[in-house]
Amino acid sequence: MSFDVTHCTLCPRQCGADRTKTVGYCHCGTEIRVARAALHPWEEPCISGETGSGTVFFAGCTLGCCFCQNREISRSAVGKVLTVEQLADTFLRLQAEQACNINLVTGSHYTPWIVQALELAKPQLKIPVVWNCGGYESPEILAMLDGLVDIYLPDLKFYSPETAKAYANCPDYFETASKAIMTMFQQVGALQWNGTLLERGLIVRHLVLPGHRKESMALLDWLAEALPKEQFLLSLMGQYTPPDMPLPDKHLNRRAATFEYESVREHAVELGLNGYGQERSAAAAGYIPAFEVE
């Protein structure tokens, strides 16, 4: 597809910003900014393996959830500026460091440049490429990634338009993300393994939010109905951590109760969904990676 950087409609926000002169809703212009590029041991076991996932954390974000744990980089274009060639070299460096995969974290607003970097690196890249995103993706972005991404790792965050509007100002979140996840599955197909490591496929993440267990269950109901249960993985997360600043919604100023998380996990089991649960001890700020901000 053609991408007009002077009138950006890349993500579902379609803010129309001239990114050569200002920034879009994502807080980014035309410079690729990377906040961290290193081996990361705290993804799902089939992604991190024994040596770690080669994560590349991009600055900025198209969602801007009010409870974001990575707001240090998601709210502004911070980090190291890389050219397309330097980004490709970063992928190859991570591979040389024995990364299990190249894990592209929140890169939607840089998709055209990431695609160029992947095309440069692909002839030498022998490990899978993971697209790690918030789920709020446009058909145009996914069309660009088709054939370049081996593993999709989207969030599925909100079910009701009211919750999505209140927490991320995107009442169309579920409508958009559900279509995106279906497209992702169509692109990569059923799970393919290399021993204990995932080589190709779809993992859908869901973070249980305090006060919203029924919405979590509704999202799991949709997944169980929309996708073949044995052909994708669910990663159910319980590590919601309130931000330092108090939020207007009282629910978000506390951690999810054990009862809330366990009831959602039990519902996933009842539905026959396969994947990962999270130890409750992971719900701490210490599990949030440090970012290299410049």
Domain-embedded: residue 8: no
Give CA–CA dist 258/191, Å, rounded. 30
Contacts by 22-28, CB closer than 8 A, 24 or more apart: 23/60, 23/77, 24/109, 25/62, 25/64, 26/60, 26/61, 26/62, 26/108, 26/109, 27/59, 27/60, 27/61, 27/74, 27/75, 27/76, 27/77, 28/59, 28/60, 28/77, 28/109, 28/110
With a CB cutoff of 8 Å and minimum separation 6, the contacts of 221 are 271
Residue entry with tokens 């950006």: 8
Q: What's the confidence (pLDDT) of residue 71?
A: 77
> Could you give the number of structural domains in the chain?
1
pLDDT in tens, the chain (294 residues): 568 999 999 999 999 999 999 999 999 999 999 999 999 999 999 999 999 999 999 999 999 999 998 878 887 778 899 999 999 999 999 999 999 999 999 999 999 999 999 999 999 999 999 999 999 999 999 999 999 999 999 999 999 999 999 999 999 999 999 999 999 999 999 999 999 999 999 999 999 999 999 999 999 999 999 999 999 999 999 989 998 888 888 899 999 999 999 999 999 999 999 999 876 554 443 333 443 332
CATH number at residue 51: 3.20.20.70
3-state secondary structure of 246: coil
Q: What's the confidence (pLDDT) of residue 286?
A: 36
Domain-embedded: residue 244: yes
Domain-embedded: residue 2: no
User: What are the helix and strand counts (H, E) for the chain?
Assistant: 9, 10
Domain hosting 251: range is 32-287
Give CA–CA dist 51/35, Å, rounded. 21
| CA-closest candidate to residue 173, choices 25, 17, 11 | 11
Domain-embedded: residue 217: yes
With a CB cutoff of 8 Å and minimum separation 6, the contacts of 88 are 117, 118, 120, 121
Phi, psi (deg, nearest 5) at residue 31: -80, 135
| CA-closest candidate to residue 265, choices 291, 227, 234, 233 | 234
Q: What does the DSSP assignment read for 161-196?
A: HHHHHHHHS-TTHHHHHHHHHHHHHHHH-S-EEETT
Q: Which amino acid is at 174?
A: F
Residue entry with tokens 């959602």: 264
Output the CA torsion sign for 195, 196, 199, 202: positive
Domain-embedded: residue 84: yes
Q: Please give the model's pTM, rounded to 2 decimal places.
A: 0.94
Domain-embedded: residue 104: yes
Domain-embedded: residue 22: no
Q: How far is CA 34 from the centre of its chain?
A: 15
